[in-house]
Structure 1
């Protein structure tokens, strides 16, 4: 089945009925788009749907008539011109890391790190004028 564009003439005079019509039509599977002109009362339904079933459901809500049904042609695809592929930028490797071959390898060198290792050092600062407020 192909996509169809159906135009329905509805007699919708109240906002409450208009909302019920929108909800009813949107529940059908295969509906691609819905558009409604409030001045003329025409609703356009596009999609792969069974139009007589829609009209039958809408007649329970308001006066509905089928105006036109036409097959929607898919848009033609234009052949694309071959685009020249941009040249890949060369990759620059600044400093390859050779120390860490494995993700959980222990880093034994402390010369490159900011924090020096603290083995069992203790630092005690003795100031003559310490002030403690409680």
Structure 2
């Protein structure tokens, strides 16, 4: 996983939202964080730094500051992984059947009668 830090020239929150939307929609992006005080954006994931910078340059000034590997410990990540089956056994209310539409009940025998007759 790569860590990419970009220097941006953002004027307001609206530009920040546009930048976040543009970058978070790219393939391989895991997380995006922007520090408005320092005007820096951190992108985590398997991304091409040049593609990210070129997409951002259409919205605002963007400059690649650093690019490198993330220095997280793998041991910490192992503790956070949870087996889904084990989680559902512990908390059965997490899984519920989703019905996209409620069942339709008609009061008449023929809900679509012939208009001509």
Q: TM-score range by the shorter chain?
A: 0.5 to 0.7
Match in the other structure for 1:109:
none
Q: 1:26 to 1:76 in 2, by over 3 A?
A: closer
Q: Distance in 2 between matches of 1:26 and 1:38?
A: 17
- 1:9-52 deviations in whole A, cap 9, x for unaligned? 00000222111100000001111111111111000000001110
Which residue does 2:18 correspond to in 1?
A: 20
CA offset digits 1:73-132 (Å, max 9, x no partner): 552338xxxxxxxxxxxxxxxxxxxxxxxxxxxxxxxxxxxxxxxxxxxxxxxxxxxxxx
- 1:76 maps to which of 55, 64, 74: 74
| Range moving further from structure 2, 68-77 or 58-67 | 68-77
Say which SS state the counterpart of residue 77 (structure 1) adopts: helix
Alignment partner, residue 43 of structure 1: 41
- In structure 1, distance between residues paired with 2:36 and 2:75: 34
Q: How many positions carry a matched residue from both structures?
A: 76
Gap runs ≥5 in structure 1: 79-134
2:28 corresponds to 1:30: yes
Corresponding residue SS for 2:75: coil
- In the superposition, the TM-score normalised over structure 2's length comes to 0.61
